[in-house]
Amino acid sequence: MADALYPQLPSVDRLLQDAAVTPLVSQYGQRLTADAARALLSDARAHIAAHNALPGWTNDWPAALQQTLAERSASKLKTVFNLTGVVLHTNLGRAQLADDAIEAVARVMREPVTLEYDLNEAQRGHRDDTIADLLREITGAEACCIVNNNAAAVLLMFAALADGKEAIASRGELIEIGGAFRIPDVMRQAGCTLVEVGTTNRTHLADYRNAITERTALLVKVHTSNYRIEGFTSAVSEAELATLGRETGVPVVSDLGSGALIDMSACGLPFETMPQQILADGVDLVSFSGDKLLGGPQAGIIVGRANAIARVQKHPLKRALRCDKMTLAALEATLRLYLRYSQPHDQLPLRLPTLRYLTRPHSDIAQTAERLLPECRKVYGDSFHIDSVACLSQIGSGALPMNTLPSQALTFTARDGRGRTMEALASHWHAQPKPILGRIADNRLWLDLRCLDDESELLAALRAASEASWAGDGTK
C-alpha cells in the first residue's frame, strides 16, 4: 500500500516550478527553498513508512514550504518576553538599550564616522576620546579606556600595571562570577602573581602594608557584588587602600563590577557604589561594566588617573580588546542621557529602560497583573489555576541576590496537580515565535510582570500559544 503512496510525492523540481512556490523562491532564494523542499519530502517519506498514509500537510505543499522556510530563516537570536523576574539577565543580553543609543548605533553603522579621525589636527585621533569628556564630567576621572567588557577591563588593568610583578588582594575578595571569571585565574593570565592577604572574613590595612615588597606593583580591591559575608567581618576601604598606595608609591585599582553612575538609593533602589566615589577616595583606576546598572551596551569601562590610563592604553592587549564603533556610539548616547536627565532623578528612568524596569512601582505592576488575570483565565483557566501573586524580582548580573524588588506575577498551577503539565506549558511557551520566559518555583509557573512593556502583545502571544496544540494539553 505504501508503495502506491510514494509516487504521489512531487519531485523537488516540480515543486519549485509550482506557481504558488515561485514567490517563495524569490523571497528565500533557490538554494534554501530547494533544501526545505528536500527536507519536507524526506519527512513525508518517513511518515509514509511509519503510518502507511500521506501526512495531512501534503494537501498544501506551498503552505508547508512557506512555514518551513519561515522557521528556518528566523534569527537564532530570538527576542523574548523576559518574565523571569531578573531584570539584568546575562543570558538574555542584560541591558535593553535606550532609543537614543539604538539610533546612534544605526547611524554609525550606515556611514563612515570619525572613529579615530581628528578633524582639527588632520591626524589620527583616539577612539576612546569619543566618550572621554562625558566620563570626565560624570565621574571626575582624568582619563578613560574602553574595552569589550569588564572582564577584559580587569585583565587589562592587571596586565598593564602588574605583569611580571605581584598584586596584593584580600582573601575575602577573590571572587568568581559567572562564566569562570575568577580573580586568581585572571591575574595568572595577566602574568602577575597574586599575593593573598587577610582571611575570608577579615582583612586589615596592616595585612596589605606587611605584604608590600619591592616586587609589589598593585593593590587590588574587588567589589564582592554577588555575595556577602556577614557577622565578624572587616574589610579595608578604597580610601584607606588609596592612602597606603600613596605612602608606598603603589598604584591601587578597583574592580567595581556593576558600578552605578547615579545614587541608586535616591531612586528607591539598594545602594550601589559609584565609580565617582571610588575615584574621589583616591584610587588610581576603577573598572565597571557598560551593560549592568549603567544600562548601556556590553563594554568594560576603566576610568582614573591619566598616567595609569596611559599605561593601560599602551599595552598590546588593548588593541585586542578595544571596542568597535557600534559600542562606542551606544555608550556615548547612553552617557549623554545621564548628563541631561539625571537631575532630577525621576527623568532618567523615562529614557533608560534598565532604570525604568528597576524603579517600576509595585502598584503599577500589580495593576498590570489585575488586567491580565481575567484574560489569562479565559484562555488557560480550564487546565490551570491562575492567580496574581506578589513576588520579588532580582536586579541580576551579579547584584546581590538578597537585594530584591517587590513585584507581582501571574502564576499557573496545573489543575491535574502534575508538575509535568506545568513544565510542558513552560516548554510550549519557549517554543513560540517570541518565547515567553517565566520561572518555575513552588509548583507554580511564574510570569513576573516587572519587565513587561506591552500587555496586549503578551496577551496575543499567550492566546496564539493556547491555540497551538501541545504536550500537556489533553483537550486538543
Question: In the complex, what is the shortest distance from the CB of residue 396 to ligand PLP, in angstroms, rounded to a whole number?
Answer: 10
Q: How far is the CB of 376 from ligand PLP (least distance, A)?
A: 35
Distances (CA, A) of 173 to 124, 218, 233: 40, 15, 12
With respect to ligand PLP, which residue has the nearer C-beta, 151 or 195?
A: 151
SS (H, E, C) the chain: CHHHHHHHCCCHHHHHHCCCCHHHHHHHCHHHHHHHHHHHHHHHHHHHHHHCCCCHHHHCHHHHHHHHHHHHHCCCCCCCEECCCEEECHHHCCCCCCHHHHHHHHHHHHCCCCCCEECCCCEECCCCHHHHHHHHHHHCCCEEEEECCHHHHHHHHHHHHHCCCEEEEEHHHCCEECCCEEHHHHHHHCCCEEEEECCCCECCHHHHHHHCCCCEEEEEEECCCCCCCCCCCECCCHHHHHHHHHHHCCCEEEEEECCCCCCHHHHCCCCCCCHHHHHHCCCCEEEEECCCCCCCCCCEEEEECHHHHHHHHHCHHHHHHECCHHHHHHHHHHHHHHHHHCCCHHHHHHHCHHHHHHHCCHHHHHHHHHHHHHHHHHHHCCCEEEEEEEEEEEEECCCCCCCEEEEEEEEEEECCCCHHHHHHHHHHHHCCCCCEECEEECCEEEEECCCCCCHHHHHHHHHHHHHCCCCCCCCC
Q: Cα separation of 207 and 223, whole Å? A: 18
State the residues that interact with ligand PLP by CB under 6 A: 149-151, 154, 177, 181, 222-223, 225, 255, 257-258, 289, 300, 398
CB of 181 to ligand PLP, least distance (A): 6
Smallest gap, in angstroms, from Cβ of residue 76 to ligand PLP? 22
Rounded least distance, CB 282 to ligand PLP, Å: 20
Find the shortest distance in angstroms from Cβ 214 to ligand PLP. 29
What are the residues facing 218 on neighbouring strands? 167
Nearest CB to ligand PLP, comparing residues 264 and 465: 264
Question: Minimum CB separation from ligand PLP for residue 36, in Å?
Answer: 38
Of residues 68 and 273, the one with the C-beta less far from ligand PLP: 273
If the CB atoms of residues 258 and 411 are measured against ligand PLP, the closer one turns out to be 258
Closest to ligand PLP by CB, 151 vs 410, is: 151
Q: What is the number of the residue whose Cβ is closest to ligand PLP?
A: 257
Taking the least distance from each CB to ligand PLP, the nearer of 229 and 460 is: 229
The minimum distance between CB 237 and ligand PLP, in angstroms, equals 16
User: Which CB, 212 or 256, lies closer to ligand PLP?
Assistant: 256
Residue 258 vs 383, nearer CB to ligand PLP: 258
Taking the least distance from each CB to ligand PLP, the nearer of 174 and 352 is 174
Q: How far is the CB of 258 from ligand PLP (least distance, A)?
A: 6
Closer Cβ to ligand PLP, 65 or 358, answer by number: 358
Shortest Cβ 398–ligand PLP spacing (Å): 4
